[in-house]
Amino acid sequence: MLPGSIQISGETLSGAEIRDICESLRENSVRLLSLRGCQLSERDFGHVCRGAAESRSLAQLNLNLGIVSNINRVKQLAEALKTNRSVQSLFLHGSPLTDAGLALLNPALSIHPSLVALDLGDCMLGDEGINLICGLLPPDGAKSGLKELTLSANPGVTSKGWGRLAIAVAHSSQLRVLNLDYNPLGDQVAGMLAVAVASSRTLEVLDLEGTGLTNQSAQTLLDMVENYPTALRTLILAENNISPELQQQISDLLSEGEEEEETEAREVTVREKNPWICQNNSSSQMVLMTSGLGDSLLAETEM
């Protein structure tokens, strides 16, 4: 039987329910476990962590909205992740993690062999936390790293911290999706991120909704999209003080890039099916084909 999912939201979990969850984890019959906003005792949280540690099927673990509510739970989760080898996506959105909690969790995150998507939105992080996260964005392919990162609503991070993240993003060999929505970034940080996007070979989605940007930021981003070939395909700028005209110009340019890639992909497919076609035009002798972003790794579980 293929592994299934357990998704419970906002409920107070009984001991019997926890036992059923843990048994399913140990039997490797759960691929997705979401306990978003649920209430459970310290003892039961420990049981769930031990079950997650033993599971070889668990790919997505959603503990959003305050499940990891204290340092003791952070330690238990860290111990579970040190043993677990299967979790690909970890959601801790809305947890009072702080930099101190992330420091305890970080060693387990750094060595996890499968983790590619991490949501630390609204986790009360500051610059020290961002420094730790940058270590999860390796500059080369020799070490596995994050492909999707959410840092929404962490207003304690300063421009210094965001600048450090921008450098890591520019050199990351794997990051595809970066969500920074509802942080007070402003135009200065947006300029740093534009440089990072222009340098990145992998970043396809950047969410800057509600980040205090103005037309100044939008013009910088427009220049970046217009003049530099990037992997970027989606740029979210809603809830900012940016004119609709500038937003539409950026959107149109990104759409043009996606259409060009689709055309190139079709040309490659035709040549593969008809290898006898002669390529007389030297400019068509090599086609670099980049695939668009597929289904989000974060999409299978509710936020």
Whole-number pLDDT of residue 261: 55
For 57-101, the pLDDT digits (tens) are 999 999 999 999 999 999 999 999 999 999 999 999 999 999 999
Asked if residue 253 and residue 139 are part of one domain, the reply reads yes
> Looking at 97, 124, 151, which one is the last position of a domain?
124
Q: Is 209 helix (H, G, I), strand (E, B) or coil?
A: coil
Q: What percent of the chain has pLDDT over 90?
A: 79
Asked if residue 226 and residue 240 are part of one domain, the reply reads yes
Q: Is 302 helix (H, G, I), strand (E, B) or coil?
A: coil
Asked if residue 176 and residue 112 are part of one domain, the reply reads no
Distance in angstroms (rounded) separating the CA atoms of residues 179 and 207 = 5
Within the chain, where are the H helices? 15-26, 42-54, 71-83, 98-111, 127-134, 159-171, 186-199, 215-227, 244-273
Asked if residue 147 and residue 84 are part of one domain, the reply reads no
For 230-249, the pLDDT digits (tens) are 999 999 999 999 999 999 99
Whole-number pLDDT of residue 139: 87
Six-digit token pair at 222?
A: 């427009």
The reply to whether 185 falls in a domain is: yes
Count of CA atoms in the C-beta half-sphere (13 A) of 162: 28
The reply to whether 279 falls in a domain is: no
Distance in angstroms (rounded) separating the CA atoms of residues 190 and 212 = 9
Q: What percent of the chain has pLDDT over 70?
A: 83
Encoded amino acid at 81, one letter = L
| Strand pairing report for 234-236 and 205-207 | parallel
Whole-number pLDDT of residue 303: 53
Asked if residue 131 and residue 109 are part of one domain, the reply reads no
The reply to whether 293 falls in a domain is: no
Six-digit token pair at 132?
A: 């730790």
Distance in angstroms (rounded) separating the CA atoms of residues 87 and 118 = 11
Asked if residue 138 and residue 116 are part of one domain, the reply reads no
Domain count along the chain = 2
Our CA dihedral for 160, 166, 171, 172, rounded to 10 degrees, sits at: 110
Q: Using an 8 Å Cβ cutoff, are 258 and 234 in contact?
A: no
Asked if residue 140 and residue 203 are part of one domain, the reply reads yes
For 119-159, the pLDDT digits (tens) are 999 999 999 999 999 999 988 766 778 999 999 999 999 99
Q: Using an 8 Å Cβ cutoff, are 54 and 25 in contact?
A: yes
Whole-number pLDDT of residue 293: 39
Q: What is the CATH number of the domain that holds 157?
A: 3.80.10.10
Asked if residue 139 and residue 117 are part of one domain, the reply reads no
Residue 256: pLDDT band by 50, 70, 90 thresholds? Answer: confident
Residue 279: pLDDT band by 50, 70, 90 thresholds? Answer: very low
Q: What is the pTM of this model?
A: 0.86
Nearest by Cα to 169 from 143, 125, 133: 133
Asked if residue 244 and residue 168 are part of one domain, the reply reads yes
The reply to whether 51 falls in a domain is: yes
Asked if residue 143 and residue 240 are part of one domain, the reply reads yes
Domain of residue 41 covers: 1-124
Residue 283 has pLDDT above 50, yes or no: no
Phi, psi values for residue 158, rounded to 5°: -95, 175
Asked if residue 139 and residue 198 are part of one domain, the reply reads yes
DSSP 295: S
> Looking at 124, 152, 180, which one is the last position of a domain?
124
The reply to whether 130 falls in a domain is: yes
Residue 263: pLDDT band by 50, 70, 90 thresholds? Answer: low
Residue 288 has pLDDT above 50, yes or no: no
Six-digit token pair at 95?
A: 């947890």
Distance in angstroms (rounded) separating the CA atoms of residues 36 and 63 = 5
The reply to whether 62 falls in a domain is: yes
The reply to whether 209 falls in a domain is: yes
> Looking at 82, 101, 124, which one is the last position of a domain?
124
DSSP 13: P
The reply to whether 147 falls in a domain is: yes
Whole-number pLDDT of residue 298: 52
Distance in angstroms (rounded) separating the CA atoms of residues 56 and 254 = 40
In this prediction, residues 41-57 reach a mean pLDDT of 97
For 9-45, the pLDDT digits (tens) are 999 999 999 999 999 999 999 999 999 999 999 999 9
For 171-207, the pLDDT digits (tens) are 998 999 999 999 999 999 999 999 999 999 999 999 9
Greatest CA separation found in the chain?
Answer: 72
Residue 117 has pLDDT above 60, yes or no: yes
Asked if residue 79 and residue 183 are part of one domain, the reply reads no
Distance of CA 129 to the CA centre of its chain: 16
